[in-house]
Structure 1
């Protein structure tokens, strides 16, 4: 298999991983539906940074490290599960709150603290996403050609960054459409409950080790 074919294969597998619903999708779609587009873009940057970190440490041999030290793989899995449970619980609490505060005007230019908070949310989600961790330490390592040259490794990092950025920005654009937003405003508590429940279930599944 040529290096170009390997890049195409890596791109196809990574797109399949991105397309399957998971924490990234639930968090971004919920923020976009709420009209928090500026914050969502910072979350996208955080998610992309997380993907870049994962691909770089995978290229450096993290998959072999986790394979030889099961406790490290377990720690990554449990950390991701804890974060999913925490974020999902937040959404569930907002869905089942008996009284809601009036909705504030959407900020299109969030302050520095808000930008950092959104970026940190995306970064932590990307780094602890169990689906992503499983991909980088298994399928990615298996497809990566042995002894690949430096240009191929650099191209892989750039490819992953562009695919992650494009896909996640696409989610924010689609779910920010007025028709979807108007419907969401009528079903906000139910949508938050579904998204929160899905994240909690994902976290519990990861704790169970499946």
Structure 2
């Protein structure tokens, strides 16, 4: 497999993992329709940089401490669940206050504090996300080890249906570069599409903020439930 083909497979893998609905995309959507593209991009960048940090820490063997100390994973579930519920409260307030995407929202994005608000949310949330850490402990770290990767089998919701349709050889830095390139494409285009739609449809901003709150509440309760069951 050529370097270009390997990199393209990595892009597909990155996009496939970044696109499914979840708490990170909920925050990106909320920031994009309420505050504009830049805020949505920064929110996506927070999750992406957390992935890069996990990759480095996994290579260094630091993240493996989770497997050595059983109490760490339940603690992460509980902390992540509480954070999601906390951010859900903010999303509910946004849904009540945001009548539409307005020029005032664009001016707000010009302020540095507004740009990094979503970044802080997704970055901190990613650091307490056991699923994200688990990915790098298993699949992610294997991207640079010689072997074979079934790309779509690791994609949430559709993995079983698409398993075996895209097999790539791992062990090439091009695959990892493509993987993060795919995530980068998502965090640029997803906020752009939502921001553009929000400017045209006044009702979109409060609707997306409400949807973001619902997603965060759902995942927050799920994480708290898993964490509590692990402790008992």
Q: Same fold (TM over 0.5)?
A: yes
In structure 2, the CA distance between the partners of 1:145 and 1:13, relative to structure 1 (3 Å rule), is same
In the alignment, the residues of structure 2 paired with residue 164 and residue 202 of structure 1 have an alpha-carbon distance, to the nearest angstrom, of 21
Q: Which residue of 2 aligns with 1:190?
A: 207
Q: Which residue of 2 aligns with 1:164?
A: 183
- Could you give the per-residue CA deviations for residues 154-201 of structure 1, whole angstroms, max 9, x where no partner exists? 6565444322222111111111224x5433x22543332222011111
Give the drift of 1:2: 11
Q: Which residue of 1 aligns with 2:165?
A: none
In the alignment, the residues of structure 1 paired with residue 75 and residue 176 of structure 2 have an alpha-carbon distance, to the nearest angstrom, of 25
Give the drift of 1:202: 0.4
Per the alignment, in what secondary structure is the counterpart of residue 176 of structure 1? helix
Per the alignment, in what secondary structure is the counterpart of residue 21 of structure 1? coil
In structure 2, the CA distance between the partners of 1:27 and 1:42, relative to structure 1 (3 Å rule), is same
In the alignment, the residues of structure 2 paired with residue 12 and residue 103 of structure 1 have an alpha-carbon distance, to the nearest angstrom, of 34
Equivalent residue in structure 1 for 2:192, among 155, 173, 179: 173
Stretch moving more, 22-31 or 35-44: 35-44
In the alignment, the residues of structure 1 paired with residue 60 and residue 135 of structure 2 have an alpha-carbon distance, to the nearest angstrom, of 15
Quick check: 1:205 aligned with 2:212? no
- Give runs of aligned pairs for residues 2-81 of structure 1, distance below 5 A: 13-62=13-62, 64-81=64-81
- Give runs of aligned pairs for residues 78-117 of structure 1, distance below 5 A: 78-96=78-96, 105=104, 106-107=106-107, 110-117=110-117
Normalising by structure 2, report the TM-score: 0.69
Long gaps (5+) in structure 2: 148-170, 228-232
Contact 1:91/1:193 (<8 A) preserved: yes
Per the alignment, in what secondary structure is the counterpart of residue 132 of structure 2? helix
- Give the count of matched residue pairs: 203
- Could you give the per-residue CA deviations for residues 38-86 of structure 1, whole angstroms, max 9, x where no partner exists? 2222223322211111111122224532122121122222222222111
In the alignment, the residues of structure 1 paired with residue 211 and residue 25 of structure 2 have an alpha-carbon distance, to the nearest angstrom, of 13
In structure 2, the CA distance between the partners of 1:58 and 1:199, relative to structure 1 (3 Å rule), is same
